[in-house]
Amino acid sequence: MLRNPEEEQLALLMTRNPLTIDPNVDITVAAKILLENNIRRLPVVENGKLLGIMSVADIVAVLAEMNIPDHVGQYMNPMSVPVWTNTPLNVVARVMELAKSKAVPVIDSDLEVVGIITDRDVISASVIEDSVEVADMSNGADDDEWTWESMRDTMSIYYSVSRVKVPDIPAKDIMVSDLVKAAYISGVSECALKMKRNRIDQIPIVNANQKFLGLLRDRNIIQAIANLN
């Protein structure tokens, strides 16, 4: 905001000149654009008019209606970083930040997946702390050789600061424990249907002993439809 003092907050947050797509473009092309540009939504524009938005969730919904038997194991992310049930939430948030992940599975001492935490869960559990800080805008000091006749201008600016504080509570206190899981050999369309019905963005992939193998994200699974052409 300091760099653009005349801008509105929405203008600061928005992406300028976003990628768009024509309504007649094949869905496989839309999937490729989303994947290649690491974005989740595409404005659908015709003759300069916005008609709607194509999202990753929309493509997952299409996948759910198709019959793609490919195993989801080939699309899952095996590098997902799980956290322990008693890991402090502020540590979980830092792990997610470093891993650039919007969700992490939670495992217990038996290494079984017992929950999942998303960035939305972390935000919901966090609190906003307001404080007042001061900026010293004084011009010089009494003993500054550049100050004319030992005179100086003094000015302090007080401003409010809001910070998000993640509480120091164990992961198990906020994790989603009613999990939707899938096996490594589950079909793509089967998992897409689970995502659609449960309105979720990711599914933990487990073996027969419920041991965590990796995380299947909605972005991963739309690769199946991008591969059709």
| Sheet bearing 103-107, strands edge to edge | 83-84, 103-107, 113-118
- 117: pLDDT strictly greater than 80: yes
Q: Does residue 199 lie within any of the structural domains?
A: yes
**Claim to verify: residue 104 and residue 15 sit in the same structural domain:** no
pLDDT category of residue 119 using cuts at 50, 70 and 90: confident
Q: Mean pLDDT throughout 184-205? A: 92
Q: Mean pLDDT throughout 140-165? A: 57
Domain containing residue 105: CATH number:
3.10.580.10
Q: Mean pLDDT throughout 123-152? A: 61
Token pair in block for residue 112: 């079984």
Q: Mean pLDDT throughout 49-60? A: 92
Q: Does residue 227 lie within any of the structural domains?
A: no
Q: Domain limits at 154?
A: 129-165
- 140: pLDDT strictly greater than 60: no
How many domains does the chain fold into? 3
**Claim to verify: residue 102 and residue 208 sit in the same structural domain:** yes
- 76: pLDDT strictly greater than 60: yes
d(CA 96, CA 63): 28
**Claim to verify: residue 105 and residue 89 sit in the same structural domain:** yes
**Claim to verify: residue 44 and residue 151 sit in the same structural domain:** no
Q: Does residue 202 lie within any of the structural domains?
A: yes
